[in-house]
Amino acid sequence: MGHAPPLVLEGDDLEVVLLPEHGARLHRILAFGVDLLRTPDEVEAHETDPFFWGAYPMAPWCNRIIPGPQPVAGRTIDLAPNFPDGTAIHGLVATRPWQLDGDRIVRVVGGGDGWPWTFEVSLLATVEARTLTLAYALANLADEPMPAGLGLHPWFRSPLELRVPAAEVYAANSGSASDPEPARDDLDLRALAAPPPGLDVTFAAVTPPVIELAWPGLGLRATLEAATSGDTLVAVATPPDIDAVAVEPQTHGPDGLRRLLRGERDALDLLAPGDALSLELRLTFGRDGAYR
């Protein structure tokens, strides 16, 4: 199959550029002519520094997994580290070429690389008026149950105000606690405000699963709605050396494989052969004072 060209979707004052060849990531979201993602000048930057640009899918897990051999559901996972902290992070599809299937669907088949199940991830991307809809599905193509998680990792331009309606939070994404703690003080984002610097957390049981974003300096706002078969969790990262905020809707908590093996809350799903896990995201953009 040949190289898949960029997929450009246009609506009313909204243009989205998706790069199938670079992990089916969103390269640009232009609302009212303004780039709202941390976007590199050259698309090749997505290859040289894949975790800190645009918005990329995470599957078959999100966040971190401890590398090395681990028996799971009758097979052995043996992942190599791919992040400076020594973990295996953000799945296996964010840097793989995806294939176009029609004019709005992209898909990739994965497996191997220490992940002993074959799986497929698909995305149907549409723009209507000022709403971008991203319908992801992760299907288990193997003959045995597979651990499964699905999410999106956008880097939204800062300065950004954020509201995440969640009363509980995992206060650290690395070596997370078994159970979340109450969201309070700097870890309470239930009021729209600039998130504090240095966060690397995951909010649990986001209810309703509607995140609010605002760029006061640009006069723009957005809502991010998430729908999945289970709970919606949202990781938030505000590294001091990145001019963006990560707001990551996903289907499980940090250390999701450990949670599955120990029977902890917010674990990876165990997906039966032939079954699929879905995550639908709707991003709607508007101007301050005329937002709908």
Looking at residue 291, its pLDDT comes to 43
Residues with Cβ within 8 Å of 260's Cβ and at least 6 positions away in sequence, in order, are 72, 147, 267, 268, 270
CA distance 39 to 135: 22
Q: Which of 140, 142, 149, 102 is nearest to 123 (CA)?
A: 102
Q: Which of 222, 242, 177, 240 is nearest to 204 (CA)?
A: 177
Looking at residue 1, its pLDDT comes to 43
Torsion of CA 77, 202, 169, 138, to 10 degrees: -60
Length of the chain: 292
Residues of the chain falling short of pLDDT 50: 1, 291-292
| Residue type for position 269 | D
- Does this model's pTM top 0.85? My answer is yes
Q: For residue range 130-139, list pLDDT tens digits in order.
A: 999 999 999 9
> In the chain, where are the structural domains located?
7-287
Looking at residue 216, its pLDDT comes to 95
Q: Which of 156, 212, 223, 219 is nearest to 189 (CA)?
A: 212
Domain 7-287 fold:
Beta-galactosidase; Chain A, domain 5 (2.70.98)
Three-state SS for 186?
Answer: helix
Q: For residue range 171-192, list pLDDT tens digits in order.
A: 999 999 999 999 999 999 999 9
Looking at residue 289, its pLDDT comes to 66
